[in-house]
Amino acid sequence: MSGPTSDFLHAAQERGYIHQVTDEAALDARLREGQVTAYVGFDCTADSLHVGHLLSIMLLRLLQRTGHRPVALIGGGTTKIGDPSGRDESRQLLSEAQIEENKRGIRRTFDAFLDFGPGKAMMLDNAEWLDPLLYIPFLRDIGRHFSVNRMLTMESVRLRLERDQPLSFLEFNYMLLQSYDFLELRRRHGVTLQMGGSDQWGNIVMGIELIRRVDSAEAFGLTTPLLTTASGAKMGKTAAGAVWLNPDRLSPYDYWQFWRNTEDEDVGRFLALFTELPMEEVRRL
- Tell me which residue range forms the domain holding 105: 7-230
**CATH number for 212:** 3.40.50.620
pLDDT at 280 over 80: yes
pLDDT at 118 over 80: yes
Residue 187 lies in a domain: yes
Residue 67 lies in a domain: yes
Contact 105, 94 (CB under 8 A): no
C-alpha–C-alpha distance, residues 112 and 98, integer Å: 23
Quick one: what percent of the chain has pLDDT higher than 70?
94
pTM of this prediction exceeds 0.75 = yes
DSSP H helices in 23-173: 24-33, 54-65, 96-111, 127-130, 135-141, 148-151, 155-162, 169-172
Residue 122 lies in a domain: yes
First to last CA, the chain: 28
Residue 2 lies in a domain: no
pLDDT at 1 over 60: no
Residue 262 lies in a domain: no
Least confident among 79-88, 145-154, 234-243: 79-88
Closest of 62, 33, 51 to residue 222, by C-alpha: 62
* Residue 227 confidence (pLDDT): 86
Q: How do residues 201-241 score in pLDDT, each as one tens digit?
A: 999 999 999 999 999 999 999 999 988 888 887 777 666 67
Please tell me the number of Cα atoms within 13 Å of 161 on its side-chain side: 11
Q: In what order do the strands lie in the sheet with 191-197?
A: 20-21, 220-224, 191-197, 37-43, 69-75, 122-125
Number of domains, the chain: 1
Least confident among 61-75, 80-94, 265-279: 80-94
Closest of 75, 260, 32 to residue 184, by C-alpha: 75
Say which residue, 158 or 110, is predicted with more confidence: 110
Say which residue, 72 or 156, is predicted with more confidence: 72
DSSP class per residue in 247-264: TTTS-HHHHHHHHHT--G
Q: How do residues 158-195 score in pLDDT, each as one tens digit?
A: 888 888 887 778 778 888 999 999 999 999 999 999 99
Angle subtended at Cα 65 by Cα 48 and Cα 282, rounded to the nearest 5 degrees: 85
